[in-house]
Chains A and B, each alone.
Chain A
Amino acid sequence: METSVDILAQAATLSPEEGRKRNDQSKIRPRVHEKIQNFFRDMSHGVISPILRLKINRSLCNFKCEHCCEEPYMSRDLLAQTGEVDPRPQMTLEDYAELSRQADEYGIFRFVLTGGEAVLDKNLGELIEALDPMKHLIILDTNGWFFDKEKAKWFAGLGGYKAQISLDSFVAEEHDAFRNKPGSYKRVIRAIKASKEAGLELLLSTCIIKDRVFSQEFENFLEYCEAEDVPLYVTLAKPVGSARGHDEWVCTKKDVDQLKYLEDKYNVFTHMTPSYGQPGKCITVKGINTVNHDGEIIPCPYMDLSIGNVMNTPLSEILGRGMMNKWLGPYRDECIIGENFDFIKFHNETVAKHFKEDSSLLPVPYEKGFALEGSV
């Protein structure tokens, strides 16, 4: 009979890599380090410190990807649908500075800049300054097209922390086809090298559709990431945005379980992977929220329903309300927008009703969506 099993207490639940990163921040960004320490101290008390993912620049993009969840938010789509761009007031640099202040007060320490393609924003430098890269880790999502040596160095020089580069297949032709952009694979490889040379933290982000996780291509991709020492972040294809109606892409539990098996062998993770002392679970509100260009807060990157607008409601109140929603707050292991067909049905029916009765503009406001689903 066995007589022992490792019991991982707080310090030991951090991987060596997580520990290294935390130690680095104590020297480079003391306020970030302080917030991380406070979060670990207080997480047992139900305190959350989600990532705030900022969709900027009206999600302007130079690509038109097959699986894009942002397409309905983009000016090109709105022009095609309605004849005009988003008429709603858009967040200004002052609004982002105020968001940064509220987030800092709340204990939040991570901003992800995304779009569309965030690098296209002419005011990106000023935005990073307004957010304060010494108080928050600034992470940049990019398709890599413009993220060359010069751009990577520029981002790092402004205080940027990490680049997250999208690569949807390890087969160049497949990636280019999925992204509808010939040559994009090569630009990704260039961007990886540029990020490393600029000293940025780096990860690759890939979207999986049903069964891809069992493919030789995916295994080759994992081997490449291992060889390059780059973590691979996997998102599940969702039946939203450009992929609405593509139920055949939706991953099954078999796909998700295979990923969880591969996590023990490779440096691959999803948003539901146990990390920083937390069990693997759905991270709506508690782990990540998206801030739309008009200030609407969406509790998951792949949903189109809001929990409130930070331009007229304090961030803490919006997050508190989100945690009390019966879908979003309580513990659950599965990704609700990726796997839970009851939630997917509610979500997509709500969006369809909103389009039919109210507006072509997303997200669906809180009062017309999550507010109708009841609180804890």
Chain B
Amino acid sequence: MFNEISLWYYKMKQPQDTFEDILSRSRRHAGVDLTVTAKFFESVCMGLKKKVADEPSLNGLFNGIHVPFICPQASESDLGTELEKTTLPSVAASFETSFPDLHFKATLQGSSRLSGELSVAVGSRYERFLEAHKKGAVAGWYFPQALQEYDISSQRTQMGSLPFPHDLVLNGAADTAAALVGSPSLLVNEEEYPPVLCLSALKHADERLMLCFKAYGHHLEFWCMSQMLTSELTQVSEQWSGGLTLFAPIG
């Protein structure tokens, strides 16, 4: 839609946080169980990486930005309440601890709410992630730019063509947030504009709205905002990016 070849204007840098760094922040700001060791966390992630390496259609996945994450067991049954009460505060705490001069802001457009308003988008496969998240902690990889420049509907449709339906899902809130908790510099880029990280596995009851994390300068923001380009068309933006999450439950 934009060009024959992507201009790839919006870029991210591969975070350099170690598994120890990520786990330490996740324990401190998201309440990940203290009994999980960095060695175990790393072994789960590397096991997933090996699984994908053997799959021809996915063996380029790790050439793009790939972010290890670990998130604790879900604390709420309602997705919106979890996001408001647990997930966003964790992201805020981690970001503002790492960058005390910067802000984290969460804004809902219109008269939108989160509690009671969110569900899983059909085709996203995210229900698999949520099943695991309800039972216990989850670890894995978040690939934030895997579906960059796709509109949200196309991001969801694309999932039908991908292997590993039980382990590879379109990204939602808990996983993306966990990646930001562990690697709070993920969207901080001094030279280039980073993409907008769409949480496309989640659907708002008002289908005009979408959820995302985005940078504003070096600040970090969460938005529940319109995805309408016009009153008839949904947004398609070079900057909007769907991600993939490859995960495994941690017993």
Query: Which residues from chain A sit less than 8 Å from chain B, CB to CB?
Result: 1-10, 13, 40-41, 43-47, 253-254, 256-261, 264, 274, 277-280, 320, 323-324, 326, 329-334, 340, 342, 374, 376
Q: How far is the CA of A260 from the CA of B187 in the complex (A)?
A: 15
Residue of B217, B228, B230 touching A257 (CB-CB under 8 A): B217
Contact: A43 with B93, CB < 8 Å? no
Within 8 A of A (CB), among B190-212: 190-193, 196, 206, 208-209
Contact: A3 with B85, CB < 8 Å? yes
Q: What A residues does B130 contact at CB under 8 A? A: none
Q: A253-B192, A261-B217, A279-B221 are in contact. Are A9 and B236 (CB under 8 A)?
A: no
B86 to chain A, nearest CB (A): 8
* Stretch in B41-49, B110-118, B156-164 touching the partner: B110-118
Q: How far is the CA of A44 from the CA of B209 in the complex (A)?
A: 7
Q: How far is the CA of A310 from the CA of B85 in the complex (A)?
A: 50
Give 10 new A-B contacts, CB below 8 A, not counting A261-B218, A331-B229, A333-B196. Answer: A2-B90, A5-B88, A7-B88, A10-B110, A47-B231, A260-B218, A261-B219, A323-B229, A326-B2, A329-B229
Contact: B229 with A5, CB < 8 Å? no
Q: How far is the CA of A178 from the CA of B114 in the complex (A)?
A: 50
Q: How far is the CA of A94 from the CA of B231 in the complex (A)?
A: 31
B34 on interface, CB distance cutoff 8 Å: no
Residue of A9, A45, A326 touching B208 (CB-CB under 8 A): A45
Contact: A333 with B84, CB < 8 Å? no
Residue of B108, B110, B225 touching A7 (CB-CB under 8 A): B108
Contact: A376 with B1, CB < 8 Å? yes
Could you pull out 25 A-B pairs where Cβ atoms are within 8 angstroms?
A1-B31, A1-B93, A2-B90, A5-B92, A5-B104, A8-B106, A10-B110, A10-B111, A10-B112, A43-B110, A44-B226, A253-B193, A257-B218, A260-B218, A261-B101, A261-B217, A277-B110, A324-B230, A326-B1, A329-B230, A330-B229, A331-B229, A333-B239, A374-B1, A376-B233
A75 to chain B, nearest CB (A): 38
Contact: A331 with B231, CB < 8 Å? no
Q: A45's closest neighbor in chain B, by CB? A: B231
Contact: B109 with A277, CB < 8 Å? yes
Q: A1-B29, A10-B110, A10-B111 are in contact. Are A340 and B90 (CB under 8 A)?
A: no
Contact: A253 with B231, CB < 8 Å? no
Residue of B88, B191, B226, B236 touching A43 (CB-CB under 8 A): B226
Query: Which residues from chain B sit less than 8 Å from chain A, CB to CB?
Result: 1-2, 7, 9, 28-31, 84-85, 88-93, 101-114, 189-193, 196, 206, 208-209, 214-219, 221, 223, 225-226, 228-233, 235-240
Q: B87's closest neighbor in chain A, by CB? A: A5
Contact: B217 with A260, CB < 8 Å? yes
Q: How far is the CA of A41 from the CA of B208 in the complex (A)?
A: 13
Q: How far is the CA of A3 from the CA of B86 in the complex (A)?
A: 7
Q: What A residues does B237 contact at CB under 8 A? A: 330-332
Contact: A4 with B190, CB < 8 Å? no
Q: What A residues does B28 contact at CB under 8 A? A: 1
Q: A261's closest neighbor in chain B, by CB? A: B217
Contact: B106 with A6, CB < 8 Å? yes
Residue of A10, A320, A323, A332 touching B109 (CB-CB under 8 A): A10
Q: What B residues does A260 contact at CB under 8 A? A: 216-219
Q: How far is the CA of A329 from the CA of B232 in the complex (A)?
A: 13
Contact: A46 with B216, CB < 8 Å? no
Q: How far is the CA of A183 from the CA of B57 in the complex (A)?
A: 68
B214 to chain A, nearest CB (A): 7
Q: A46's closest neighbor in chain B, by CB? A: B228
Q: What A residues does B219 contact at CB under 8 A? A: 260-261, 264
